[in-house]
A and B are shown apart, each in its own frame.
Chain A
Amino acid sequence: MKPIFSLITFFSVLSILSIGGSNSVVPEMARHAVEVEHWLTAAQFTDIFAISQAAPGPSNLIVALIGFKVAGFWGALVAQLAMMLPAASLMLLVSRIWVASSGNRWHLALEHGLAPIAVGLIFAAGWTIAEGASLSTIGYVIAAACTLLFWKSNINPIPIMVVAGTLGSMRLI
Chain B
Amino acid sequence: MTPPSCMTEPATKPRLLELALTFNKISLASFGGGLSAWARRVIVEEKKWLDDEEFLSALTLSRVLPGANQMNFAVYVGNRFHGFEGALAAVLGLITVPFLIILALAYTYFLHSTIPAMQDVLRGVAAVAVGLALSMGLKTAEKFLFNPTALLFSALAFVASVFLKVPLIAVLAILSPPAFLVAWRHHTRKKDAS
Contacts and interface: CB of A to CB of B under 8 A. Distances in A.
Interface of A: 15-22, 47-48, 50-61, 64-65, 68-69, 73, 76, 80, 84, 86-88, 90-92, 94-96, 98-100, 102-103, 105-106, 108-130, 132-136, 139-140, 142-151, 154, 157-158, 160-161, 164-173
Nearest to A157: B132
Interface in B86-141: 87, 91, 94-95, 97-99, 101-103, 105-107, 109-110, 115-141
Interface string B141-168: 1001001011111111110011000011
16 contacts: A53-B33, A69-B110, A98-B58, A109-B180, A109-B181, A113-B180, A114-B56, A115-B52, A117-B154, A120-B154, A124-B162, A147-B135, A150-B131, A161-B29, A168-B122, A173-B124
Contact of A115 (B56, B64, B119, B168): B56
Given A51-B118, A91-B61, A166-B124, A99 B67 contact: no
Contacts of B186: 112
Nearest to B94: A58
Interface of B: 1, 3-4, 6-7, 27-34, 36-38, 41, 45, 52-54, 56-72, 75-76, 79-80, 84, 87, 91, 94-95, 97-99, 101-103, 105-107, 109-110, 115-141, 144, 147, 149-158, 161-162, 167-169, 171-172, 175-176, 179-184, 186-187, 190-191
